[in-house]
């Protein structure tokens, strides 16, 4: 799989791939990652869009990426901040925080998606639709964002049992929506997201 991905968009440039996970969830944070890979390392890893990998494959790759990357960073934006700024802006903020967490500043950002809101302290960026299936560093960021968020939601499932977060990770599955009816929302639920049907608040 790695041979099908671009290991470096511009030769000699220090590029950081950026991606996020959890935009479509009813509960939990949105999580972003930024990853700088040596092109030779990128070519040696069986990277792919995290959604195309099994949970075991993602975990194995997470360990390899964190060990072999030149630099990597993961950032969380809370459900409360998502409600305040909306999910799109929260996703951008998570990516900006992840970039700021890198050891050293990259020359260029490779963003998964079709748009990004930068800030004065950010290097230039380029956006790539389905970049996590095309560019190695974005695929690596996709894997880190997904695995770190999944770990968070599995821990949250222990604190708030009954919502099946250990399997649905906060996404709007039938079981998750039914749990909202039966149990009501938790502090980790995004209040501005539509829950169908509505449920009373039991965790105020």
Predicted structure pTM score? 0.93
187 occurs within a structural domain? no
DSSP assigned state of 133: G
Any idea what the CATH number is for the domain that residue 79 is in? 3.30.420.10
Q: How many whole angstroms separate alpha carbon 32 and alpha carbon 98? A: 6
pLDDT by residue (tens digit) across 177-195?
Answer: 999 999 999 999 999 998 7
pLDDT one-digit tens code per residue, 32-76:
999 999 999 999 999 987 888 999 999 999 999 999 999 999 999
Residue found under tokens 């049992």: 161
Does residue 204 belong to any structural domain of this protein? no
Query: What spatial distance separates the first Cα and last Cα of the chain, rounded to whole Å?
Result: 47
Domain count, the chain: 1
Domain hosting 105: range is 2-170
Instruction: Tell me 110's DSSP state.
Output: E
Backbone angles phi, psi at 140, to 5 degrees: -65, -40
Q: Is residue 36 part of a domain?
A: yes
Check if the beta carbon of residue 27 is closer than 8 Å to that of residue 104: no
Note whether residue 35 is domain-resident: yes
């Amino acid at each position: 799989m790695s041979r099908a991905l671009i290991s470096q968009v511009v030769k000699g440039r220090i590029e950081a791939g950026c991606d996020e996970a959890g935009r479509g969830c009813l509960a939990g944070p949105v999580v972003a990652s930024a990853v700088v890979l040596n092109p030779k390392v990128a070519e040696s890893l069986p990277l792919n869009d995290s959604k195309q990998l099994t949970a075991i494959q993602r975990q194995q790759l997470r360990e390899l990426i964190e060990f072999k990357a030149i630099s990597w960073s993961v950032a969380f934006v809370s459900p409360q901040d998502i409600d305040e700024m909306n999910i799109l802006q929260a996703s951008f903020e998570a990516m900006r925080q992840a970039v700021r967490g890198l050891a050293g500043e990259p020359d260029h950002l490779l963003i998964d998606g079709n748009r990004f809101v930068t800030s004065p302290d950010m290097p230039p960026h380029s956006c790539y639709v389905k970049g996590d299936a095309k560019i190695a560093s974005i695929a690596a960021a996709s894997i880190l964002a997904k695995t770190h968020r999944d770990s968070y939601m599995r821990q949250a499932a222990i604190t708030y049992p009954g919502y099946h977060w250990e399997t649905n990770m906060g996404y709007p599955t039938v079981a998750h929506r039914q749990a909202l009816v039966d149990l009501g929302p938790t502090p980790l639920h995004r209040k501005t997201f539509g829950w169908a049907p509505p449920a009373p608040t039991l965790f105020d």
